[in-house]
Structure 1
């Protein structure tokens, strides 16, 4: 019989009904839930916070909700931190800070679970720093037969290599061990720049300090830049509370939310309001705990598409996107986010084998991305771009196999570990191809 549960993701663009939700506590309970689903011929999808915009987490039959499997297991004297896979990143950051440790790099959102962030290839910015998966040292995986596999660089190394960015397709992550570093602060320098200038000197600017990013406001040439330099904890000098509240809550969220709402009611206002938004954020400098600087509160909901392109291709991609926006009648209220990351060696990491620039486009959550996302996808695709696994894109397995040299290695491992496609859904069948045992099914 079909289940009775309903689900929607953070952005509201992915929904599901008629499935069963299971909230296991402990690895044994996860394994038992998997075995029960397999015995009933049902597919299983684990879910974290639902922050992916793609349908990667959409359940069909059984949803494994890891909210009761979210504890801290251990922190060793050398900074190896082991957590259950359902722990949200913001809780992990707090647990580490209380013990004098930190993750060496983070994205700008910390609401995801550790498992969800790893599985979709979440990353921050920094030319010398990789994504979250590069901080992974070991993992525990519940396989389709209900067995539990411990993986690291020396145990089941082929599975560990692939499962660092595993899309939830190889099994259910039940525990992960990450390498933390001694707690550090970031000195943040934020200010305006022009896209023309940043494109002309892209590599020099993006490598000018440890963690660099910028936001380009479409319909203008204006950008807001962020340069974060790693410094000792003793240099912490946060903004006054009133200034932080004004900048981050009033200007960055409340006022921006009003701009987006106004544009939805009166679309012709979007372009002039974009020019207002581009000038609203003033220059500032602050120094605070790293995780407080890395992370931004995002209270205005949106849909996102992000492509990873070779770092040297980013100026051309941005120039073509700017020309496409200027030549169109699109009304784009959200800025375009630009970040960089070092090459890594995870088969399905978007930075696998190459230094990478990330370009992300957004629209309001209730908007149709339409031609804007399609045009950006074509521009990024011409540069060999790889879409973020948790964000919107239109590629299938045939197209993605051409973007990832080790794609067939990953899918062969998936077919071996999950020959019945227990951990798949329609989305994974599209982006990875169905396992051979399912190709003949109707």
Structure 2
């Protein structure tokens, strides 16, 4: 049987400590057969079993009620095809580790989000995404999955094999089984040229759709109430190209380190703490934070530009919308924030993705833009999130599965054409609900 530590190590919480639990058991399987034993044991004893990754979600999607299971030993690359451009990883591998491994083979993921601490399984199961209207969410890069079901069986799924399960499991919320192996379509290593600068809110919001379609990867951040936004445009480059600063340019690297680590983590932590203690100062502190970022441009290997290391704990709420709703939604958000007494130390972040056909993907069937709101972990998140969520719901937004939201199955069934299909498939694969918890029960089963 897999490792089972003492009860003193069974406490669990999300990164921002919004959700906590005390598990009844902890399993760390060292192989797929050991994992199958864990599942069979849970079924025989009537326990629920919840896989936990790195706890970066702001929702209770991974909160254990009985035993929890960690995949810390199921990590690493199992095979790579440098000609066919595929790479297969065990599911407990983190995005950061996978980026490093792919770099050894001069390969890369075609698109990534800002965070890289989460496991690959957790990233695809919750709808992790980057930005770019021509690029889908992270799970669209997956070509094959292997998962262990509630009866302990190992199931392979892809477009050719078990295609319905494949489309469901690519954003499966951890409710269909435990993913153990993931094969990705990868690309030759490339570089990104980043341009980050301030612009007028009016100029960017009025032209956002055109700018997004005219860029490889485009996003902007905005402190509500500010007349300025900060844009981030990423342009894909060949691995070796003339005319751009080299990846290891000393001045470029020093400026990035200062901005990404000293300012965005060190100084920002102090500003957020001060804002939590003295909320009236938050608007002024946000001006300091925004001013400190400055304008910059740089080039580096793709994974080093897509991802940014963050150490300041925070909660997140993110909703996805049809890109045709952009102007109307931003107008409503701006009107709300203008009269709101609550301000976050974080800006709203607006990004995009291509439409896809993954059953529970927030980008299912429509070219999508996302609005991400964050709250410093010491501040009450409901005061910020609840009014914004009411606006998001009114516009038919789909919540990020790994972040804060209050939607129930009744609400969500209206947002996803394949919601009923997913629920029926889950019931077939896990009739005893071994992989459920109260949060999944609410978003999948409660009317």
Task: Write the distance in 2 (CA, Å) between the matches of 1:119 and 1:402.
Answer: 21
Aligned to 1:285: 297
The structural deviation recorded for 1:3 is 5.9
Aligned to 1:318: 330
Give 3-state SS (helix, strand or coil) of 1:201's partner: helix
8 Å Cα contact 2:23-2:64 kept in structure 1: no
8 Å Cα contact 1:342-1:355 kept in structure 2: yes
Matches within 5 A, 1:43-62: 43-62=48-67
Aligned to 1:389: 401
Structure 1: which 5+ runs fail to align?
Answer: none
Matches within 5 A, 1:29-428: 29-77=34-82, 78-235=84-241, 237-238=246-247, 240=251, 241-428=253-440
Change (3 A) 1:287 1:160: same
8 Å Cα contact 2:273-2:378 kept in structure 1: no
Structure 2: which 5+ runs fail to align?
Answer: 1-5
Please state if 1:15 is matched with 2:24.
no
The structural deviation recorded for 1:19 is 2.1
Task: Write the distance in 1 (CA, Å) between the matches of 2:402 and 2:283.
Answer: 29
Give 3-state SS (helix, strand or coil) of 1:169's partner: coil
8 Å Cα contact 1:3-1:61 kept in structure 2: no
Task: Write the distance in 1 (CA, Å) between the matches of 2:103 and 2:444.
Answer: 38
Task: Write the distance in 2 (CA, Å) between the matches of 1:172 and 1:44.
Answer: 10
- Residues 332-390 of structure 1: CA distance to partner in whole angstroms, max 9, x if unpaired? 21110110000000000000000000000011012112232111111111111000000
The structural deviation recorded for 1:218 is 2.1
Task: Write the distance in 2 (CA, Å) between the matches of 1:247 and 1:60.
Answer: 41
Give 3-state SS (helix, strand or coil) of 1:139's partner: strand
Runs of 4+ in 1 over 6 A off after TM superposition: none
Task: Write the distance in 2 (CA, Å) between the matches of 1:191 and 1:9.
Answer: 33
Give 3-state SS (helix, strand or coil) of 2:24's partner: strand
Task: Write the distance in 2 (CA, Å) between the matches of 1:177 and 1:316.
Answer: 39
Give 3-state SS (helix, strand or coil) of 1:261's partner: helix
Change (3 A) 1:48 1:91: same
The structural deviation recorded for 1:170 is 0.4
Task: Write the distance in 1 (CA, Å) between the matches of 2:149 and 2:340.
Answer: 49
- Residues 43-80 of structure 1: CA distance to partner in whole angstroms, max 9, x if unpaired? 01111111111000001111110011112101113121
Task: Write the distance in 2 (CA, Å) between the matches of 1:295 and 1:207.
Answer: 21
- Report which stretch shifted further, 161-170 or 232-241: 232-241
Query: TM-score, normalising length from structure 2?
Result: 0.95
8 Å Cα contact 1:34-1:44 kept in structure 2: yes
Number of residue equivalences: 434
Give 3-state SS (helix, strand or coil) of 2:157's partner: strand
- Report which stretch shifted further, 98-107 or 367-376: 367-376
8 Å Cα contact 1:219-1:275 kept in structure 2: no
Task: Write the distance in 1 (CA, Å) between the matches of 2:443 and 2:91.
Answer: 24
Give 3-state SS (helix, strand or coil) of 1:202's partner: helix
8 Å Cα contact 1:302-1:363 kept in structure 2: yes
Task: Write the distance in 2 (CA, Å) between the matches of 1:281 and 1:51.
Answer: 25
8 Å Cα contact 1:222-1:278 kept in structure 2: no
- Residues 303-335 of structure 1: CA distance to partner in whole angstroms, max 9, x if unpaired? 110000111112222221121111121122111
Task: Write the distance in 1 (CA, Å) between the matches of 2:426 and 2:343.
Answer: 41
